[in-house]
């Protein structure tokens, strides 16, 4: 049993500001035969303060009360009181500035992460090149910038070939529908296509595990672009080709869904048609893209979780573009880099000087 006098003296020492551990070691243990541990004494002291404390409390000179609680007996006398002072206001601004000024460089370095080629795919959809209006010299920079990307190495590289690769559909200056437009030299245009694509495909075969070429119909050049894709399939036996003469195509890769169509037909229904026609492939993908061209200007919209992109071109402005007020459009091609189940980069490549 701890004498009441000892309890009250412990309360007085605490009220005088003596540290609780000092009260325990210097007074409590010296005046009792208790074997209570410090944590037990600390809890007991809090109970004694509530039970035996009085309203006579010695407070520090700078003490500023914030709130208090009192307990009264049946005669209206104060049995115990609890008074909490306001917290000292700190100069956070000065402390923060001091901490910043005393900051030292961190020694830790970021661990370099190199993406394995088995988890990356490069998509190269060069829509609306309009060879004949533009030539190989105009696209030499484009070829160099794409080659730099291919050098990184990929699991798969996809070339979308066509979609108005050539300006004319025949040697008489007509489109696929027979519309008469400015006539270009189609023999030179075909040679320029070979000069542009063949070195890139050769490099891709060295830097990727698989190379795929997808023919995309255009409204200017559906016939010569198909012949060009057929020519490539004759000289590359180790490449996967999609030469189907269809308006809409898809490719899939590790949770990626990519749809292709030139964009001159059924523009408003494009996403719904792809989702319906390839429902299984679409539902199994986590990243869904549909790439179109035709308008020579960048446009994007989200439809049912599918990003529909009208891709820009780095081609030379032709009469059709001027008539449609597209001559001010940004001149670039977009190249897409994917990791499994997500798009990670969109690269802009350019042409001309």
Distances (CA, A) of 35 to 3, 142, 224: 15, 86, 100
Residue 76 DSSP label? S
Give the chain's length: 353
Distances (CA, A) of 130 to 109, 126, 173, 225: 48, 10, 12, 11
Residue 58 has pLDDT above 70, yes or no: no
Percent of the chain at pLDDT exceeding 70: 84
Alpha-carbon gap, residue 323 to 338, rounded angstroms:
36
Residue ranges covered by each domain of the chain: 4-85, 117-349
Residue 262 has pLDDT above 60, yes or no: yes
| Contact call for residues 185 and 166 (beta carbons, < 8 A) | no
Quick one: average pLDDT of 348-353?
Answer: 90
Say which range, 53-57, 92-96, 292-296, has the weakest mean pLDDT. 53-57
Handedness of CA 326, 327, 328, 332 (dihedral sign): positive
Residue 86 has pLDDT above 70, yes or no: no
Binned at pLDDT 50, 70 and 90, residue 83 comes out as low
Q: What is the pTM of this model?
A: 0.70
Please report the pLDDT score of residue 234 as a whole number. 96
Alpha-carbon gap, residue 218 to 176, rounded angstroms:
8
Backbone angles phi, psi at 66, to 5 degrees: -110, -45
Quick one: average pLDDT of 284-306?
Answer: 95
Binned at pLDDT 50, 70 and 90, residue 322 comes out as confident
pLDDT in tens, 95-131: 788 888 887 776 666 555 545 567 999 999 999 999 9
Helices (H), 68-181: 92-101, 140-150
Residue 51 has pLDDT above 80, yes or no: no
Distances (CA, A) of 257 to 180, 208, 242, 308: 36, 19, 16, 12
Q: Does domain 117-349 have CATH number 3.60.21.10?
A: yes
- The residues, any chain, with a CB within 8 Å of residue 218's CB and separated by 6 or more, are 128, 162, 163, 164, 165, 166, 176, 225, 262, 264, 293, 294
Specify which residues 158 forms β-bridges with.
Answer: 123, 212
Binned at pLDDT 50, 70 and 90, residue 293 comes out as very high
Say which range, 51-65, 124-138, 139-153, has the weakest mean pLDDT. 51-65
């Amino acid at each position: 049993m701890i004498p009441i006098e000892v309890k009250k003296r412990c309360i007085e020492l605490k009220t005088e500001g003596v540290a609780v551990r000092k009260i325990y070691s210097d007074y409590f243990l010296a005046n009792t035969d208790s074997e209570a541990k410090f944590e037990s004494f600390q809890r007991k002291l809090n109970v004694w303060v509530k039970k035996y404390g009085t309203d006579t409390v010695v407070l520090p000179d700078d003490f500023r009360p914030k709130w208090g609680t009192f307990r009264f007996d049946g005669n209206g006398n104060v049995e115990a009181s609890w008074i909490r002072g306001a917290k000292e206001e700190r100069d956070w601004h000065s402390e923060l500035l001091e901490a910043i000024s005393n900051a030292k460089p961190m020694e830790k370095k970021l661990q370099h992460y190199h993406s394995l080629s088995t988890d990356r795919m490069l998509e190269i959809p060069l829509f609306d090149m309009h060879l004949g209006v533009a030539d190989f010299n105009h696209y030499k920079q484009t070829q160099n910038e794409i080659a730099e990307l291919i050098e990184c190495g990929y699991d798969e590289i996809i070339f979308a070939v066509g979609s108005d690769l050539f300006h004319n559909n025949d040697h008489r200056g007509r489109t696929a529908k027979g519309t008469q437009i400015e006539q270009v030299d189609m023999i030179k245009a075909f040679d320029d296509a070979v000069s542009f694509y063949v070195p890139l495909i050769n490099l891709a075969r060295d830097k990727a595990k698989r190379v795929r070429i997808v023919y995309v119909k255009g409204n200017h050049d559906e016939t010569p672009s198909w012949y060009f894709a057929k020519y490539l399939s004759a000289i590359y036996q180790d490449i996967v080709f999609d030469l189907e003469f269809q308006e809409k195509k898809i490719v899939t890769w590790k949770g990626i869904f990519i749809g292709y169509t030139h964009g001159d037909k059924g523009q408003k229904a494009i996403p719904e048609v792809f989702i319906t026609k390839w429902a299984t492939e679409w539902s199994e993908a986590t990243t869904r893209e549909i790439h179109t061209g035709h308008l020579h200007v960048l446009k994007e919209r989200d439809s049912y979780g599918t990003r529909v992109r009208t891709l820009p071109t780095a081609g030379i402005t032709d009469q059709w573009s001027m008539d449609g007020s597209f001559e001010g459009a940004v001149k670039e091609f977009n190249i897409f880099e994917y990791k499994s189940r997500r798009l990670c980069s969109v690269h802009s490549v350019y042409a001309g000087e």
